[in-house]
Chain A
Amino acid sequence: MFRYYLKLGTLSIRANPVLSALMVAAIAVGIGACMTIVTVRHVMSGNPIEHKDSQLYHVQVDNWNPDDPYDDPDGAPVQVTYLDAKALFDANRAFRQTTSFKTARVVQPDGEDARPFQEDSRATTADFFPMFDVPFQFGSGWDRSSDETQERVVVLSKELNEKLFGGEDSVGRALMLNDEPYRVSGVIDTWNPVPKYYDVNNNPFEDPAQLFLPFSLAVANSFDNNGNTSCWKPIPDGAGREGFLNSECIWIQMWVELQNASAKQDYMNFLDAYVEEQKLLGRFPRPLNNHLRTPSEWMEYNEVVDEDVDVLLGLAVLFLTVCLLNTIGLLLAKAMRRSKDTSLRRALGASKTELFKQHVIEAGMIGMAGGLLGVGMTWLGLRGIENIFVEYDFIQHLVRMDWSMVMLAVALAIASALGAALYPTWRTCNITPASHLRLQ
């Protein structure tokens, strides 16, 4: 009977083209508006490293002001000081660990006509690449010995390698950065995690760095920190770079990889012991407030998805509801128009259940059409957002529609249509056949 009902649905849609088109349009517009926001939220709330969510942890230790917490009511700082980053890193108590900060380098390409240009860079450690499953097109990241020796090695993004070396395997080639020669150790394949979970404090949706360099080298050579820096204690005048490094200013992101719950507990104990030890030295005046947060917990903690997006989502759902109410009205109108057909089918032996199936399948077809058109509407909505916020480079990362969103749009449209069809279908099925067949 399913195929028969599909045929009846097609005939019914053809017989009422205007009503059917209005229903499809109402669903499509509602789905389009809703899915535009859902898609943006989906991208914003995604976890690109979900498969390692139980192994990666962002490190938080509370070195902040005893009289004024970093974040009310009792939030620990979201980055760490250089003192703590170095001490925790040197302790080497995790399976893998990385410290990093955002910086920038001036790239000086070969050739007399080539003009230097500045690129966003990330100073980090060797473990950064295997911890975050960074894919390589050529070569690899540097090894831990390069961290220790402050070797001038660099990992390039695919785009930058394309720009500098025409996309060729550039491993081992020399590259001048701020008048210093570097050796290319690897070229990253396409890698653009959104949100940029490893550094959500410096715009989680911006483009990833084009260059990756050893953290130790960057610190030793006083590379500027291009990310956020927060201090609660003033740095003494004239203390210079050394004073900044020894200060209570936070500016470094630290992550550790711990392979199981036991390892996590051990590392937590280590952090507590470390802070207790620092307290004896006069630091960490606040109560113990250390945290290890997984990437998903970390993004939630930092409210990567802005509250405004949730408000917009609520409005979009409300709009979809209005569209569905219109659809219900249209379905009722259609049901009334077809009451004679329904009565006749009842007279000829259709049970209420069979009629229910027939109308639900037809509603599903309308929902499917609305969903497919809704995907198009969503695409238009996303292009609209992209055009409105064209000045923000990162917007392109938020307006991508993947297959899961396409499937969700169609499924939501079908579910919406079925939901909208319930009341009209119920009324249709309860028509007294005789009352409509009597009409001559």
Chain B
Amino acid sequence: MLNMKNVSKVYRTDTVETHALREFSLTVDEGEFVSVTGPSGSGKTTFLNIAGLLEDLTSGTYELDGRDISQLNDKERSRVRNEKIGFIFQSFNLIPELNIFDNVDVPLRYRGFDAAERKRRIEQSIEMVGLGSRMQHLPAQLSGGQQQRVAIARALAGEPRFLLADEPTGNLDSHMADSVLDLLAEINKAGTTIIMVTHELALADRARRNIFVRDGQVSDNAPEIHLATMAAG
């Protein structure tokens, strides 16, 4: 489903060149729940941004569903993002002036669904995250955990095949984090492929496969504490 080969990402300024990813190769199959861990600055988020078509790669190849992403123009990339990929961010990234219903509506608007179809999908996804009674609330009227659930509902409303989560529990307490991870596990069981970036090894254990990234590359040598955690899982 997702296939990156020798992907490199270099950020350049006038004086500095930063290699965020170096010869990064990874394959993720349909239905997997993959966690991506690694120290700060290792390239986890850069990988997620490239996987989500939020950034261009510098070199290498990236195929999504067998399609070479680097050949797509802006409109086609936007369509792939809209139809195939759902995003969950650490800071939820809800639009403060829109209520919950309208926040979940955003990706569906760009999809071109008619009003009835949008309404059906919005209500279904909000019900699924357990916030059916809060549709008219503004984000500021919800707790952090509830806001992240809204973000998940927004990601799911378009029924993407591919969910990218960047530190989805980073701003939540442990109780809320567990509840969000339970929800992600449920979603994965239903068939959605999930790639989750996290720096918390305990959370990474909830995934079926863990990728450790170091210095912009997938590392075969995960730290001991990490391996121990994985084995216990």
Contact = CB atoms under 8 A, between A and B. Distances in A.
Interface string A10-29: 01101100000000000000
Given A1-B109, A434-B54, A440-B170, A348 B91 contact: no
Given A345-B106, A434-B49, A440-B90, A351 B95 contact: no
Interface in A344-371: 344-354
Interface stretch (B73-81, B203-211, B222-230): B73-81
Task: Tell me the dominant secondary structure on chain A's binding face.
Answer: helix
B109 A4 contact: yes
Interface in B38-61: 45, 49, 52, 54-55
A264 B148 CA distance: 83
A346 B56 CA distance: 14
B49 A351 contact: no
Nearest to A344: B93
B107 interface: yes
A322 interface: no
A347 B55 contact: no
Nearest to A351: B78
Interface residues of B, number: 30
Contacts of B91: 439-440
Nearest to B75: A351
Contacts of B78: 346, 349-352, 354
Contacts of A4: 109
Contact of A348 (B55, B74, B87, B98): B87
B81 A341 contact: no
Contact of B74 (A1, A344, A352): A352
B160 to A, nearest CB: 10
A15 to B, nearest CB: 5
A438 interface: yes
A437 interface: yes
A340 interface: yes
Given A346-B54, A354-B110, A433-B54, A438 B82 contact: no
B54 A437 contact: yes
Contacts of B49: 434, 438
Contacts of A437: 54, 87, 89, 93
B97 interface: yes
B121 interface: no
A190 interface: no
Nearest to B98: A11
A134 to B, nearest CB: 60
Nearest to A439: B91
B81 A349 contact: yes
Nearest to B109: A4
Report the contact-size class of chain A (Cβ under 8 Å from the partner).
20 to 34
Contacts of B74: 351-353
A344 B95 contact: yes
B83 interface: yes
A349 B111 contact: yes
A11 B107 contact: no
Considering residues B81, B82, B93, which has the most beta carbons from chain A within 10 angstroms of its beta carbon? B93
Contacts of A11: 97-98
A347 B95 CA distance: 13
Given A11-B98, A440-B170, A348 B89 contact: no
Interface in B11-69: 45, 49, 52, 54-55
A341 B139 CA distance: 14
A12 B98 CA distance: 10
Interface string A131-146: 0000000000000000
B154 interface: yes
B55 to A, nearest CB: 5
Contacts of A352: 74, 78
A432 interface: yes
A440 B167 CA distance: 10
A349 B54 contact: no
Nearest to A10: B97
Contact of B110 (A340, A349, A438): A349
Contacts of A349: 78-79, 81-83, 107, 110-111, 158
B193 to A, nearest CB: 18
Nearest to B54: A434
Contacts of B54: 346-347, 432-434, 437
A348 B110 contact: yes
Interface in A274-326: none
A437 B164 CA distance: 13
B74 to A, nearest CB: 5
A317 to B, nearest CB: 36
Interface of B: 45, 49, 52, 54-55, 74-75, 78-79, 81-83, 87, 89-91, 93, 95-98, 106-107, 109-111, 154, 158, 170-171
Q: List the 9 closest A-B pairs by CB distance, nearest first.
A: A349-B82, A351-B78, A434-B54, A434-B49, A349-B110, A348-B107, A433-B54, A434-B55, A11-B97
29 contacts: A11-B98, A14-B97, A341-B95, A344-B106, A346-B78, A347-B81, A347-B87, A348-B82, A348-B87, A348-B106, A348-B107, A348-B110, A348-B154, A349-B78, A349-B79, A349-B82, A349-B107, A349-B111, A350-B78, A351-B74, A353-B74, A433-B54, A433-B55, A434-B49, A437-B54, A437-B87, A438-B45, A438-B49, A440-B171
